[in-house]
Amino acid sequence: MTLQEYDYARESPSKLAASCLLLALTMKNLGGWTPTLEYYSGYSAQDLHPLVKRLNFLLTYQPRDKLNAVRSKYSHRVFFEVAKVTPMDMLKLEEILTNS
């Protein structure tokens, strides 16, 4: 989704990928940012928090009238229906990130 958003063009691809991973781990309650992830990505969890919040905001307030083909494609079980995943509540995300 960030490929169609100009605001994300200035982010480094590695930081964007790491932030997406942290958001996915948090959304699925699969744990947080481990020392191994920090070592191999080069980013601490604190480095990623602002971008994770922006990504969740993008998921929460995405326009429903645009990019229907992409949303339809990723709503299929072949892609694990990731387009149907409910974004996190912004306050709950903030609390989890602060406590991790």
Provide the sign of the torsion angle of the four alpha carbons 9, 85, 32, 95, taken in this order. positive
Residue with more model confidence, 67 or 75? 75
Q: Which pLDDT does position 68 carry in this prediction?
A: 78
Q: Flag whether pLDDT at 66 surpasses 70.
A: no
pLDDT digits (tens, 9 = 90+) for 15-29: 999 999 999 999 999
* Residue indicated by tokens 């083909």: 69
Q: In this model, does residue 67 exceed pLDDT 80?
A: no
**CB–CB of 7/58 below 8 Å?**
no
Location of structure tokens 């922006």:
54
Q: How far apart are CA 88 and CA 22, in angstroms?
A: 12
Q: What pLDDT is recorded for position 50? A: 96
Whether the pLDDT of residue 100 is over 80: the answer is no
